[in-house]
Amino acid sequence: MDVFALPDLVSTQDLEALLEVKRGRISALRKSEAGFPEPVAGSTPKRPLYLREDVLRWLVATDRAPVSALPVFDRPPSGKPLVQRRFRDSTKFVKLPALDGELTEAHVTRYTAGEYADPRVLTLVVPVGDPGAPRIQPARLRADAVAALGYGGRNGLRGAIAWIHPEGRGGRERGGSLFGAEVPDDPQAYEFGLRLKPLDAELVSHLVGHLLPYWEKGAVAKSAAALWEPRPLGEEVPRVPATHIPPALATAAALRRQCREVIDQITSGRREAPPVIIDELAQLGNTIWDTIVSNQFNWDSGPAPRTVPPGWVLPIEPALRTNTDPNPPLPKQPAPVDLFHALEWLIEQQDLPHGMARTATAFYGYPTSIDVLTVDCTELPEHLRAAIDRHLTPIPARDNWLHEALAEALGQHTAAHPGGGPAPAGTSEHAALGWQADTDPQSHPARTLPGHRAGDLLAYHVPRTLFDIGTPAVVHLFATTVGDQRRYGGILIDRTGALSPIPLNPDPAKPGHTAAELAALALGITEPLHLGRLPKLHNEPAELTQLAAALASTDHLEINWETLCDIVGPRPDSLEDNELVTRINDLYTWKKLTNAGLSLVSGPDLA
């Protein structure tokens, strides 16, 4: 028997055939050699079975087999140098089943042994594209994914799999993510998944004869993976050119191209727009690009070259910030401009690609609203649903992103709840609506922020500031579920029954955000409270945090206005909104506000 033909579980007969000895000699070796493999659990003294990996290690350690017979990811015995034992054979893309039931794609490199006798194949895998949250866990590879890579079964590959897990910015501190395992010949051995263990990248780089590509999350485009060409250890490794656009930057790159086209249309006279829009669009596109380059990749952190752990190499040239790019798609901006003015212009345009406004508002937020919220009105208490119905009035729908975003939100809710939902836009069941503060349109005309309604579903823009209503009476907080995502909303009703949506982030990162928004509401802060979607106020009463946390387990909370104001305390006199927010954020801990208390408790050293 050949050493490379050993099965997963090696019997005494296998050892006899391999070593060309009789049974008595095997029994003698078991007693005389300290490193002889231990039988696996479940085998018997008369019929012992041994793991193939353990047998191979013993054979190499006792010079009964060459180093190349070791399990693929084993270091050679002490004193033996790291040598190349696998050689690059082919590359291709493979579709793999992911955790969510969909297919994800991976770039696969095969490595075979230099000796014909060794049939084991090493497969190096890296997922391509920018799937966001991990769709395949690198610590455990599902059996169907192993099969998709060609292993298992009578005609499947034998050998091992190594998995490069693209890292975020913190990856370089952790030394990169490389996982791998020998694949048993019998698929039943990993029917619940193949457990992958962390690997030594330096060892694997010697095993395959080249440094491993240190892919970063969001940087592995299919074209870059296909173009990257490893070189033997010791040779300089060329990188994919900087013209390559990583997937994480693809949306920002598309926006810069679109802004460039619109600017060209304006300067050539083909499109009318205020002159300031040119600089504002350039800054809008550049800022998104530069922010992602800086925050996600940190590719241009300074003149010092970036380093990676032993065994790795950076596979691509860095994307450049606008101020370092010798030929940026958009002109460089020497000073900040009013980006919200550009956003207002974008979302009102009817003949621009909606993708422009979609990308810009996803990054900056809306000029006059925090986000779009879709509510299933049947989940609301009847009296709140009736109040909302009284304060919506039909308005003309327009073919711009402000309205299109609402239609998309209704469509997403329908996809998450098959079998029902909105009718197509333009039908009698799908109406464009505007808020009005009461039933007298002469007194309170329809609001500029629209809503769309389809049956029991209502999608509307959450305003950045309250509508003009009378003396507040009650606050309604509610939670609604779209797919697996729980989102929050709020309505303030005054003593006459008029109402306004509350400036409440539908997707709060933590209950403290909702609590801060409620505190600002009670204090009558009318200055737009949010930077994008995050509240400027980041200090809040513990009682409000506890109250907001209750939304995780209930669909509706009704709070009397007097109760809310009593928790927060009175607004101190003679403070403008911005100064009030600054002073509250400086508090070491929130106490019920008073004129004296706010001025005395202004920092940790004064608490």
Both tokens of residue 283? 């800054």
pLDDT value, residue 166: 83
Give a yes or no: residue 449 inside a domain: no
C-alpha to C-alpha distance for 205 and 112, rounded to whole angstroms = 14
pLDDT value, residue 260: 95
Q: What is the pTM of this model?
A: 0.76
Assess whether 223 and 251 both reside in one domain: no
Q: Is the pLDDT of residue 427 over 50?
A: no
What CATH number should be reported for the domain holding residue 25? 1.10.1660
Give a yes or no: residue 439 inside a domain: no
The residue count for the chain: 607
Q: Is the pLDDT of residue 428 over 60?
A: no
Assess whether 61 and 114 both reside in one domain: no
Assess whether 350 and 257 both reside in one domain: yes
Q: Is the pLDDT of residue 135 over 70?
A: no
* pLDDT tier for residue 439 given thresholds of 50, 70 and 90: low
**What are the pLDDT digits (tens) for 500-510?**
999 999 987 78
Assess whether 135 and 183 both reside in one domain: yes
pLDDT value, residue 130: 63
**Percent of the chain whose predicted confidence (pLDDT) is above 90:** 35
Assess whether 251 and 202 both reside in one domain: no
Closest-CA residue to 289 (of 303, 273, 300, 278): 300
Range of the domain at 22: 3-65
* pLDDT tier for residue 134 given thresholds of 50, 70 and 90: low
**What are the pLDDT digits (tens) for 275-314?**
999 999 999 999 999 998 887 765 544 445 567 888 999 8
Assess whether 307 and 354 both reside in one domain: yes
Give a yes or no: residue 389 inside a domain: no
Assess whether 283 and 338 both reside in one domain: yes
From 17, 35, 65, the end of a domain falls on 65
pLDDT value, residue 594: 75
From 30, 65, 100, the end of a domain falls on 65
C-alpha to C-alpha distance for 211 and 192, rounded to whole angstroms = 32
pLDDT value, residue 171: 42
**What are the pLDDT digits (tens) for 145-164?**
999 999 987 788 999 999 99
Give a yes or no: residue 290 inside a domain: yes
C-beta neighbour count of 542 within 10 angstroms: 12
* pLDDT tier for residue 604 given thresholds of 50, 70 and 90: very low
pLDDT value, residue 244: 78
pLDDT value, residue 239: 87
Distances (CA, A) of 448 to 348, 368, 409, 513: 12, 9, 19, 26
Closest-CA residue to 479 (of 377, 375, 555): 555
Give a yes or no: residue 322 inside a domain: yes
pLDDT value, residue 32: 84
Give a yes or no: residue 21 inside a domain: yes
**What are the pLDDT digits (tens) for 350-388?**
888 878 999 999 888 888 888 999 998 988 999 999 999
* Mean pLDDT of the region 256-282: 94
Residue whose token pair is 């926006």: 255
* Mean pLDDT of the region 3-28: 85
Assess whether 283 and 323 both reside in one domain: yes
* Mean pLDDT of the region 329-348: 86
Q: When comparing pLDDT for 494 and 114, which is higher?
A: 494
* pLDDT tier for residue 175 given thresholds of 50, 70 and 90: very low
AA letter at 153: G
Distances (CA, A) of 16 to 21, 32, 281, 309, 375: 5, 17, 77, 44, 73
Q: Is the pLDDT of residue 38 over 80?
A: yes
Give me the number of domains the chain comprises. 4
C-alpha to C-alpha distance for 555 and 83, rounded to whole angstroms = 63
* pLDDT tier for residue 258 given thresholds of 50, 70 and 90: very high
Strands 121-127 and 159-164 come out as parallel
pLDDT value, residue 218: 83
How big, in percent rounded to 5, are the helix, strand and coil portions of the chain? Answer: 35, 20, 45
Residue whose token pair is 């010798």: 326
Q: Is the pLDDT of residue 576 over 60?
A: yes
Give a yes or no: residue 181 inside a domain: yes
Assess whether 186 and 309 both reside in one domain: no
- Residue pair 306/314 in contact by the 8 Å Cβ criterion: yes
Q: Is the pLDDT of residue 132 over 60?
A: no
pLDDT value, residue 597: 59
Residue 244, phi then psi, degrees to nearest 5: -65, 135
Assess whether 110 and 222 both reside in one domain: yes
Q: Sign of the C-alpha dihedral, residues 453, 343, 484, 511?
A: negative
**What are the pLDDT digits (tens) for 47-68?**
889 888 888 888 888 888 888 8
pLDDT value, residue 174: 44
Assess whether 513 and 563 both reside in one domain: yes
* pLDDT tier for residue 211 given thresholds of 50, 70 and 90: very high
Assess whether 141 and 223 both reside in one domain: yes
AA letter at 454: A
Residue 224, phi then psi, degrees to nearest 5: -70, -40
* Mean pLDDT of the region 236-265: 89
Give a yes or no: residue 233 inside a domain: no
Residue whose token pair is 């000029």: 367
